[in-house]
Amino acid sequence: MHLLPTVPSRILDVGAGTGVDAVWFAERGHSVVAVEPTVELLAAAKELHRFASIEWLNDALPELELVLSRGQVFDTIMLSAVWMHLDEAERRAGMSRLASLLAPDGVLVFSLRHGPIPEARRMFQVSGSETVELAGQYGLRPVLNVQTESIQAVNRAAGVTWTRLAFRKSA
């Protein structure tokens, strides 16, 4: 929480789902671009959350073509439970694009899921150390690296853990 902006800022929420994080930021006065590639989740988010300060986009990593075409940079970029849905090549391409979208002194925040992959889900094992190394190649320095248990009892019992990472872009 100490890394998130306290004054109105430009936020990019990649993999916004139904908009929980986007709404949290909007309620605090931030301008949010919320990106979600799953049509059903995007439609639900738009219906549930009608904030003038949230712009909903159908776009996806690793390309983020629509976001990049806007020529904006963001003070904070959030990826909550997204990164492990990309394979290694997609993560490499995606990190380059994320770094280019981050404003100087901006913060890039990840949560990475570790543990058994649910059946019929496109997920890959990705470590915090791999992500730290990759981010470093684009001038992003780590400012947070915390491992936690899952908050869901069923996931804890299955051995699911999380890594929370944040990076700051050099000014």
- What's the pLDDT tens digit per position in 14-30? 999 989 999 999 999 99
Lookup: tokens for 24? 């949290």
Q: pTM for this structure? A: 0.91
Domain-embedded: residue 4: no
Look at 15-29, 70-84, 95-109, 117-131 and tell me which has the smallest mean pLDDT: 117-131
Q: Is 5 within a domain?
A: no
Asked if residue 70 is part of any domain, the answer here is yes
The answer to the question of residue 1 being in a domain is: no
Number of domains forming the structure of the chain: 1
- Which helix (H) or strand (E) is 27 found in, with range? helix 20-27
Residue 24 lies in a domain: yes
Side chain identity, residue 44: A
Domain range for 131: 10-169
Residue 141 falls inside a structural domain: yes
SS3 110: strand
Tokens standing for 23? 């709404």
* Continuous segment of H or E residues that includes residue 64: none
CATH number, position 27: 3.40.50.150
Q: Is the peptide bond before 62 cis (omega within 30 degrees of 0)?
A: yes
Q: Specify the pLDDT at position 163.
A: 93
3-state secondary structure of 82: coil
pLDDT value, residue 63? 95
Q: Could you say which DSSP state residue 83 is in?
A: G
Q: Are 37 and 64 in contact (CB under 8 A)?
A: no
pLDDT of amino acid 154: 77
Determine the Cα–Cα distance for residues 154 and 129; give it in Å rounded to an integer: 26
96 lies in some domain: yes
Complete edge-to-edge strand list for the sheet that includes strand 161-169: 54-57, 31-35, 10-14, 74-80, 102-114, 161-169, 140-149
Instruction: State which H helix or E strand residue 1 sits in.
Output: none
**Rounded distance between C-alpha atoms, residue 167 and residue 144, angstroms:** 7
